[in-house]
Amino acid sequence: MPRASFRDQVGGNRLTQESTDEDKMKLAAEIDTAMEDVVAPFESKFAPSDMRQLALVAHNHMKPAMKEFIETYSELLKKFRITGTQTTMRMCKSLWGEDDPNIEYGLTCTSGPLGGDAQIAALMCMEDLGALIFFVDPLSAHPHQ
């Protein structure tokens, strides 16, 4: 039986401008309950080495948002071979540890201006990148893009 989407689990878009604070608190509680399922530990059917890498990339001003994302979805992310820049990989290793045999880290890339974006593109070309999560800072210029 297919699992209900997150939006379906919490009742879709039920809040309107007329919603009361009580409605908002009720929806927040339902979201918290649904999130517990998403972030709960689970057993993966695939080993990280059997899957393509998952790249986490963030512009400098978005590193705190990426760290919060990694902390929130840690149980899920640890099931993948995570790749990213030196800063991202250092962040993951500080949160998860370097010696955990259950965690398999992927390639450590240089920063974007120094060729890291090309390294990520090469992983795509070699079909060793399954997904890329990019925390973009829309308020600053990035001439290397």
> Which residues are annotated as catalytic?
117
Residue with tokens 């309950």: 33
- DSSP symbols for 93-136: HHHH-S--TT--EEEEE--GGGTHHHHHHHHHHTT-EEEEEEE-
Contacts of 133 (CB under 8 A, 6+ apart): 54, 55, 56, 57, 69
CA distance 57 to 85: 7
Q: Does residue 48 contact residue 71 with C-beta atoms inside 8 Å? A: no
Query: What are the φ/ψ torsions at residue 11 (nearest 5 degrees)?
Result: 85, 20
